[in-house]
Amino acid sequence: MEKINEKANYCLNCKVKPCSLKGCPLGNQIPNFIAQIKEENYEEAYRILSETTVLPGICGRICPHKKQCQGSCIRGIKGEPVSIGDLEAFVFDKVIDSNYSLGKCWKKDIEKNKENRKSNTNKKVAIIGGGPAGLTCSAFLAKEGIQVTIYEKYDYLGGLLIHGIPEFRLPKDIVKKTVQNILDLGVQVKYNQELGKNISLEDIEKQYDAIFLSIGANVSSKMGVDGEDLDGVYGGNELLEYKLHPNYKGKKVAVVGGGNVAMDCARTIKRLEAEDVKVIYRRAREQMPAEDKEIEDAMKEGIEFLFQNNITKIIGTNKVEKIELIKTELVQKEGETRLVPVNLEGSNYIIDMDYVVMALGSKPSPIASKLKLKLNKWGNIEINENYQTSNPKIYAGGDIAGVKSTVAWAANSGREAAKNIEKYLNDKYEINLIK
């Protein structure tokens, strides 16, 4: 408790609040909730957080804080920023362990909104996908009295929070508590329901007044180099999701990429007793999109980083045996906002390797192209400023809609979509009344 008090008291409670207004994708009222921690009013701190988020225990632990809220903290200009993530996670843990739920937290708001909730009770919304965007959308719709049913392809909720982020970064019991907190609002779930397999968008559209699509985009991108189809080449997203790891014991593994998925893969593989794990990244360390803490932790765990190296070929007869790398230099090109890596001719070299993991980003599942919805040039479902797709009854958020790929941005899309879905349903109801 002393450390938490110290972290809370370090906040200046400044009036400009760049941590909230500039740094936080969800717009959490950060100085306000920290002020309540200082007074040990933890339930009030949670209530303030819950105005904008239903995932504080998760975002407090895994958000890239240095790039978001803490990166905008005024105290960080001349020293260390306020430990906003730690404080957010602390508040969630404290109140959930004392049985203070979202339902109790929102009780006053629900009472005030009684009349509007009455008119919403016959409105039904289907959420397809129970990850951060879907869970958030469900909670904010349920708060308004709308009947919500989540269709989830697995037998659990959480999406990448469960199968995409390792236990050492995000304890699964925190996800389970978060999910239960949302389900207790009256949200219904139909498990083992996968779009394109045992459910169709057309059938669901007939049963519900609106739909929110949040099925993610977890297909690993490829590099397009020779040898990419050899045995022993894996997609990072799929390895984390399905956990179909080979036996790494005593083996050499290359992880290609510089984001948090690359870090999660490398650190997981090291824990599975790989002898040598190398992260290959074609830019410099300061350009890596992964959180600094994740990079530092990986280095401490004995993972080697080959910065400014690019993989050009994967070599082997049937399976991976070696990889060819080439060194890069960073140059400023006209029209580019950051330095671009360019291969240094003649700097190629070959190293022995047993497995290669591609962690270069992700793209939508082929199911996205079969939904009869307009897609953008990257294959994501196209949405307007209200998160509405080309079918006005269907909304989308999170990775499938090309939203910035952090949990907080996905949650933001779910919350904002919920507001727009409610407005759409109310407008539709009023039109029907006029008729």
Q: How high does pLDDT run on average in the chain?
A: 94
Contact between 363 and 219 (Cβ < 8 Å): yes
Residue 385's contacts (CB-CB under 8 Å, 6 or more residues apart) are none
- Rounded Cα–Cα distance for residues 126 and 29 (Å): 30
pLDDT band at 343 (very low <50, low <70, confident <90, very high): very high
Report the C-alpha dihedral over residues 232, 279, 84, 66, rounded to 10 degrees: -130
Phi/psi for 427 (5° steps) reads -60, -40
Contact between 254 and 357 (Cβ < 8 Å): yes
What's the chain's length in residues? 435
Predicted confidence (pLDDT) at residue 430 exceeds the cutoff of 80? no
Q: Above pLDDT 70, what percent of the chain? A: 98
Residue 264's contacts (CB-CB under 8 Å, 6 or more residues apart) are 164, 165, 166, 169, 236, 240, 294
The domain spans of the chain are 2-100, 115-217+364-434, 220-361
Predicted confidence (pLDDT) at residue 432 exceeds the cutoff of 60? no
Model confidence, pTM: 0.93
First to last CA, the chain: 60
pLDDT of residue 109: 87
pLDDT of residue 431: 52
Please, how many CA atoms are within 13 Å of residue 325, restricted to the half-sphere of its CB? 22
Contact between 18 and 72 (Cβ < 8 Å): yes
pLDDT of residue 19: 96
pLDDT of residue 390: 97
Q: What CATH architecture applies to the domain 2-100? A: Orthogonal Bundle (1.10)
pLDDT band at 429 (very low <50, low <70, confident <90, very high): low
286 closest CA partner among 317, 311, 258: 258
Predicted confidence (pLDDT) at residue 421 exceeds the cutoff of 50? yes
Given 3-state DSSP classes, what are the helix, strand and coil percentages for the chain, each rounded to the nearest 5? 40, 20, 40
**Residue 228, Cβ neighbours under 10 Å: how many?**
14
- List the single range of 201-210, 407-416, 425-434 with lowest mean pLDDT: 425-434
pLDDT of residue 60: 97
Q: Which CATH superfamily is domain 115-217+364-434 in?
A: FAD/NAD(P)-binding domain (3.50.50.60)
The pLDDT of 364-386, averaged and rounded, is: 94
* CA distances to 83, 112, 250, 304, 432 from 310, in Å: 36, 58, 24, 15, 60
Strands in 355-358's sheet, in edge-to-edge order, are 233-235, 355-358, 252-256, 276-281, 304-307
* CA distances to 62, 261, 326, 338, 393 from 289, in Å: 14, 10, 21, 13, 35
pLDDT in tens, 81-97: 999 999 999 999 999 99
pLDDT of residue 115: 80
Identical fold between 115-217+364-434 and 220-361: yes
Predicted confidence (pLDDT) at residue 299 exceeds the cutoff of 80? yes
- List the single range of 1-15, 251-265, 269-283, 345-359 with lowest mean pLDDT: 1-15
Residue given tokens 């819950």 in the structure block: 50
pLDDT of residue 428: 72
pLDDT in tens, 97-133: 999 999 999 988 888 888 888 888 899 999 999 999 9
- Rounded Cα–Cα distance for residues 306 and 296 (Å): 14
Fold of 220-361: FAD/NAD(P)-binding domain (3.50.50)
pLDDT band at 357 (very low <50, low <70, confident <90, very high): very high
Strand partners, 356: 233, 254
pLDDT in tens, 141-168: 999 999 999 999 999 999 999 999 999 9
pLDDT of residue 54: 98
**Residue 419, Cβ neighbours under 10 Å: how many?**
15
- Rounded Cα–Cα distance for residues 306 and 314 (Å): 16
**Is the pLDDT higher at 99 or at 404?**
99
pLDDT in tens, 244-294: 899 999 999 999 999 999 999 999 999 999 999 999 999 999 999 998 889
Predicted confidence (pLDDT) at residue 435 exceeds the cutoff of 70? no
Sign of CA dihedral 122, 123, 124, 129: negative
pLDDT of residue 114: 82
235 closest CA partner among 85, 124, 102, 358: 358
Contact between 239 and 362 (Cβ < 8 Å): no
Q: Above pLDDT 90, what percent of the chain? A: 84
